[in-house]
Structure 1
Amino acid sequence: MRSTRRLSLRRRSALLMGAASLAAPALLTVQAGEAQAFGTINSLGQRAEHERITRAALACAAGTSSDGSCFEARSIDQVAGHTGTFGAVGSPDSDEIFTPEAHCDDADYLTASGYPRTRQQASDQLVACISKLQGRFSQGVAAGSGTLNGDGTVSPGNSDLSQDCTFTGGVPGRGKCNAIEGFGRALHGVQDFYSHSNWADKADPNQAVGVNNPPGLNMSGPAPLLSLKSGRPPAASSVPAQLSTGCFSLNPWGCSGRVTHSTLNKDTGLIDPASGATSDPTTNRGRITGNFDRAVKGAIADTRRQWADFRTALTERYGQERGQRIACVLTHDNPVRDCR
């Protein structure tokens, strides 16, 4: 979620850095306007869509222990956010608002004569987004070592969640928080890809295809392009010829003649945080032929894929025993007891 009033965030960044414990509440006071990504807050037209997608994908059922595939209550709070916090998945909406690669924006293209962007330019921008998300994914894997002591046992101080993690402004934190931050920031862009692109959606059948009604690819399942664990950005030539995300600009003329974010996004609607079921889409593209539901389903499926890949990456980097223990620390609320 981004808006014109968030321009004030840059002027306030120094204050936020000096008051990390107050960062999330302070940021919540400057959210406003039209949503520009899956939502992060639960007001102003948003319904905490990033949080709800992440919970639907990765939260353990109430009262159950993690088997490694899901996060227990306090741990999912850090990944997904909860009332008054952005969580790791929402953190790019606090300090990377104007970084298009964090949201997979500006990779717009239309196969029409005279379109102001070439396929190569659009593909290069999408590859830049994927490369950034791969860097965040790797950042999380590298930070995982900070959850353990030198002898491989769980570090109590670095796995404690008696206080929420701080994910804003690059403030370093406990080992568990640092690992979750890298993973969550990667998830943000992955989830935005399904909302901001035409990968999973369909065009309006009642309008001619064009800049105001770009074609939809109607693809299901996680996008192969978003293989973050590999660490190798896809070749631009592997991007589907009609794939497009939306151009985003605060300048009213900044996206003139281009497929815009406001045209293509499927950002807002109601998502059940347990089942992932959707209803009441509120954007024009999201209302068309189940597009919001398809975007959410794609985001949930890919969020699960990324966590499975993250666990694999941990064991590949640290070995089976340490890698599994780090994953246990990240998913369990009492890892000193549960991750021996």
Structure 2
Amino acid sequence: MWGRLGPGVLASLVLSGLIVLVPNSAAGFGTIEGGGQNREHERITRAAVACPAGAGSDGDCFEPRSVDQLAGHGKGFGAVGAPDLTEISNPAAHCDDADFLVGRYPQTRAEASAKLLDCVNHLRRRFREAIDSAKDLLDDEGQIIGAEVNLGTDCALANTEQRAKCESLEGFGRALHGAQDFYSHSNWADVADPSRPIGADNPPGLNLPAPSPVLDLRGSGAPTVPRDLTTGCFVIRDSVPGVGACERRVTHAALNKDNGLVDQSTGATTSPTTPRGEVASNFAKAVAGAMVETRHQWQDFRAALETSYGAQKGSLMACALTRDDPLNDCRGRSRAAAVLAISGVLIGVLGVGILLFQARRRRHLNVTNRSPLPP
């Protein structure tokens, strides 16, 4: 049985077993179906950037096969789930361990902000990897390469993929994973339980909107961090109160809003299952924030493509990433751009010709006017 399973399915099953054994995984929003998770990452991503049924992409949304690769489908994790395959124990991939409370606390504000910057810089590297991989979508003449965008088979993950579309989507999906986890693992968008005192088991909520300026993935500097912003400390034995390295600290178990049901078409939420997620509308706010952030990051990604490669190539790359049949569907865009470029040159040449003609005509008239009158 095991020998017949593909590597993606096998990895999914193995990780499913691990998550059942460690139910409060730091993986953030769920990636699998089971173990308390409901494929929250996939459903958030689809609700945010999947094209409506039957609609083609205008660049703002991903068509069915393309969104399958980004969000995941069936037993496949997709690009957004990739960190739960290869980076599940890396706090920077999930924005963990940037915990802080005002007052006497085991970690200072500066130390917590440094941990948060580790997360932001990690996501920036993934974002940049996706931009860099996109250059291989086009040949030297700026045309889409068929083999680089073919989705006849699903994208492989974890550095085993060769197709440029898959590599670019994986980098972007890994960046999205951490950006979405930020809303689940932090108090950016949530509120505290008003029936209990503020403390490590009930940190304050900031109740702030998305997108968050903290997640400036195109930037390079340290973001401004609100004084009361916190994420959760995570160890394998994730609990409230914290134990081991998380003793006397805000824990992932106390703060996360990872699990519940998400409608993959609308993003509507029901049935939150974590303590913080059950407070007020915290789970709904985390999901809504993650969706807004996902759309924002895609718009920033498109802008970064145009900044890096020029408007024409950047637009064509975005088309290749979002369309299922970019060789045919993006060809018109490429031709249109070429026609516009040629038209611009012709108009320029015509304009110069007209100016030269007018200049010569004026000189001729001036010479005629200066000629002496006949006797």
Residue equivalent to 2:365: none
1:233 paired with 2:224, answer no
CA distance in 2, matches of 1:296, 1:80: 15
- TM alignment of 1:57-76, pairs within 5 A: 57-76=48-67
1:208 paired with 2:197, answer yes
- TM alignment of 1:21-32, pairs within 5 A: 22-30=6-14, 31=16, 32=19
Write out per-residue CA displacement over residues 129-158 of structure 1, whole angstroms, 9 at most, x where no aligned residue.
001101100110110011111211110000
| Rg comparison, structure with higher value | 2
- TM alignment of 1:12-161, pairs within 5 A: 22-30=6-14, 31=16, 32-33=19-20, 34-36=23-25, 37-113=28-104, 115-161=105-151
Could you tell me which of 285, 302, 317 is aligned with 1:311? 302
Deviates more, 1:245-254 or 1:257-266: 245-254
Letter of the 1:154 counterpart: I
**Aligned partners of 1:35 and 1:267 also within 8 Å:** no
Letter of the 1:207 counterpart: R
- Paired residues, number: 316
1:281 paired with 2:272, answer yes
CA distance in 1, matches of 2:71, 2:252: 24
**Aligned partners of 2:131 and 2:304 also within 8 Å:** yes
Residue equivalent to 1:175: 164
Q: Percent identity?
A: 50
SS in 2 for 1:161: coil
Could you tell me which of 185, 188, 193 is aligned with 2:182? 193
Letter of the 2:232 counterpart: G
Q: List gaps (5 residues or longer) in structure 2.
A: 238-242, 332-375
Deviates more, 1:221-230 or 1:116-125: 221-230
SS in 1 for 2:307: helix
1:325 paired with 2:316, answer yes
Letter of the 2:161 counterpart: P
SS in 2 for 1:286: coil
CA distance in 2, matches of 1:92, 1:44: 18
Residue equivalent to 1:219: 208
**Aligned partners of 1:130 and 1:233 also within 8 Å:** no
Q: Where has structure 1 moved over 4 Å in runs of 4 or more?
A: none
CA distance in 2, matches of 1:287, 1:125: 27
SS in 2 for 1:259: coil
Residue equivalent to 1:247: 233
1:325 CA drift (Å):
0.5
Write out per-residue CA displacement over residues 39-63 of structure 1, whole angstroms, 9 at most, x where no aligned residue.
0011111110000000000000011
Structure with a larger share of its residues in helix: 2
CA distance in 2, matches of 1:191, 1:329: 24
Cα pair distance change 1:233/1:86, threshold 3 Å: farther
CA distance in 2, matches of 1:107, 1:233: 18
Residue equivalent to 1:297: 288
SS in 1 for 2:60: coil
Write out per-residue CA displacement over residues 156-204 of structure 1, whole angstroms, 9 at most, x where no aligned residue.
0000000000112x22320100110110000000000000000000000
SS in 2 for 1:179: helix
CA distance in 1, matches of 2:66, 2:196: 45
CA distance in 2, matches of 1:66, 1:163: 21
1:35 CA drift (Å):
4.2
1:112 CA drift (Å):
2.4
SS in 1 for 2:246: coil
Question: Aligned-residue CA RMSD in angstroms?
Answer: 1.2
Write out per-residue CA displacement over residues 88-144 of structure 1, whole angstroms, 9 at most, x where no aligned residue.
00000000011100000000001122x100000000000110011011001101100
SS in 1 for 2:103: coil
**Aligned partners of 2:129 and 2:168 also within 8 Å:** yes
